[in-house]
Amino acid sequence: MKRNQWVIVLVLAAFALMVWSGYANYKRRKQYAQRQVQGVPETANNQSVQQDVAADEGLPDLRGKRAPDFSLRSVEGKKVSLSDYKGKAVLINFWATWCAPCKIEMPWLVALRKQYASQGFEILGVSEDDAGTPRTKLAKFGQEEGLNYPLLVGDDAVSRKYGGVEFLPTSYFVGRDGKIVAETAGLVSKDEVEASIKKALATGGQ
Amino acid sequence: MFRPAMVMVVCALAVGLCVAQVLKDQPLPLPDGADRGAAVQFLDPQQVTLPARHTAQIDLHFRVADGLHINSHAPLEKSLIPARLAVVEEPGLNVTAVDFPPGTEYALQLAPREKLSVYTGEFILHVHLTARPGQHLLNGALRYQACDSNACMPPHTIPVSVTVIAQ
């Protein structure tokens, strides 16, 4: 190839790279703008935006997959496994005592558990506090917040099974068949939590 | 027509522009693949000169990434993790106090009545100290816990290091 042709190829390649980077930047900014959507009435579209956002925030898309099983100690010291709740709809809620948005959704979770427990719904609150946090501190926190569902002491292995849980709160909604039907990263509205619970309850048993 | 050196320079500039274009997205809240712990950055100073054997003040400048906030030194709820500066003791350098700025009131979008006390953007810590003549290293660490409008990240610690020249 002649030198002039090489020059043209190089310039075209540089131009293509610039176009690509501009597009990549535009795409990211668009995703960010979507994430800022607030106060929009909940619609099927809005929910799909929320789910996309969850994926964008580092949540692996586990929807449709079997929820990874785990065994953890409750704050009372009892061994609790996800498989203990076979046939039930389960909300696995990762939280921490230092997480302000987690505290905001807790009263909603308490109310929703009361409302749907008779239909076979349970919540497992998995603490993401430091490993050294005493169980008694977690238990006291649960009492103060009036939590009516099991609080479990989380560990890295379980977090890794659920994609690392980089943001709190993070919730996975498991259907009666043991498959994840919805997932959220960050605080979402009570209506959205309830919709996901209903979805989990609607799935058939194993 | 084109000299190879000129072509290389143009290509290098183009590549540089591309990289800069992509990297300028990094301050976005909770960016994909970014260092998710680096919600706060220590800006300056790297070095200060102050009078020896007199009480002096160093202003430590920090910046919270766009779209994020951290709890102030005095969160409104006891379960929240406050911003804290730990300083390593060094002979000849005596830190007597650290002043934190008051937090700004903030509420999450889904709970507008639940107020938090936070820092956003740039904030300054005033470190009061005395130093013996000579060069010292003020070593410390800022511990904070960051969130955006809906989600929180685990607490994180960043190093703070300032060369102090006392004359």
Residue range A9-28: average pLDDT?
A: 70
Residue A31 has pLDDT above 60, yes or no: no
**CB–CB contact B18 A168 (8 Å):** no
Query: Where exactly are the structural domains of chain B?
Result: 1-29, 35-166
Residue-wise pLDDT for B107-147, tens only, equals 988 888 889 999 999 999 999 999 999 999 999 999 999 99
Cα dist. A29→A34, A161, A199, B109, B137 in Å? Answer: 9, 30, 31, 21, 41
What's the mean pLDDT in A19-29?
A: 62
Tell me the nearest-neighbour CA distance from B1 into chain A, angstroms: 8
Annotate A35-86 with DSSP letters as a single string.
HT--SPPP-HHHHHHHHHHHHHTT----TTSBPPP-EEEBTTS-EEEGGGGT
Nearest-CB residue to A17 (from B18, B145, B152)? B18
Contact of B46 with chain A, judged by CB distance below 8 Å, is answered with no
Q: Give the residue with greater pLDDT, B61 vs A10.
A: B61
Q: Is A131 exposed, middle or buried (0-12, 13-18, 19+ CB in 10 A)?
A: exposed
CB-CB contact of B48 with B84 (8 Å): no
The pLDDT value recorded for residue B12 is: 61
Contact residues on chain A for B24, CB-CB shorter than 8 A: 25
Contacts A187 to B, Cβ<8 Å: 108, 110-111, 150-151
Higher per-residue confidence, A5 vs A43: A5
pLDDT tens-digit readout, A44-102: 333 333 344 444 455 678 888 999 999 999 999 999 999 999 999 999 999 999 999 99
pLDDT of residue A82: 97
Would you state the pLDDT for residue A63?
Answer: 87
Between B159 and A20, name the one with better pLDDT: B159
B35-166 carries CATH number 3.30.450.40: no
Gap between the Cα atoms of A125 and A142, Å rounded: 10
Rounded CA-CA distance A82/A60 in Å is 19
Query: CA-to-CA distance for A137 and A129, rounded, in angstroms?
Result: 10
* pLDDT greater than 80 at residue B105: yes
A177, pLDDT greater than 80:
yes
Provide φ and ψ at B77, rounded to 5°.
-125, 140
Model-wide pTM > 0.90: no
Alpha-carbon distance B67 to nearest alpha carbon in chain A (angstroms): 10
- Residues of chain A with pLDDT > 90: what percent? 64
User: How confident is the prediction for chain A on average, in pLDDT?
Assistant: 83
CB contact under 8 A, B21 and A22: yes
Q: Is A7's CB within 8 Å of B116's CB?
A: no
Interval A134-156 mean pLDDT: 95
Name every chain B residue with its beta carbon within 8 A of the beta carbon of A186: 148, 150-151
Q: How confident is the model at residue B44 (pLDDT cuts 50, 70, 90)?
A: very high
pLDDT at A58: 58
Q: Which is higher by pLDDT, A26 or B88?
A: B88
Average pLDDT over residues A172-199: 95
Please write the tens of the pLDDT for every residue from B19-30: 545 444 333 334
B11 backbone dihedrals φ, ψ, rounded to 5°: -65, -45
Identify the H or E element spanning A106.
helix A100-116
B141 contacts chain A (CB < 8 A): no
CA–CA separation, A16 vs A32, rounded Å? Answer: 24
Does residue A134 have a pLDDT over 90?
A: yes
More confident residue, B6 or A168: A168
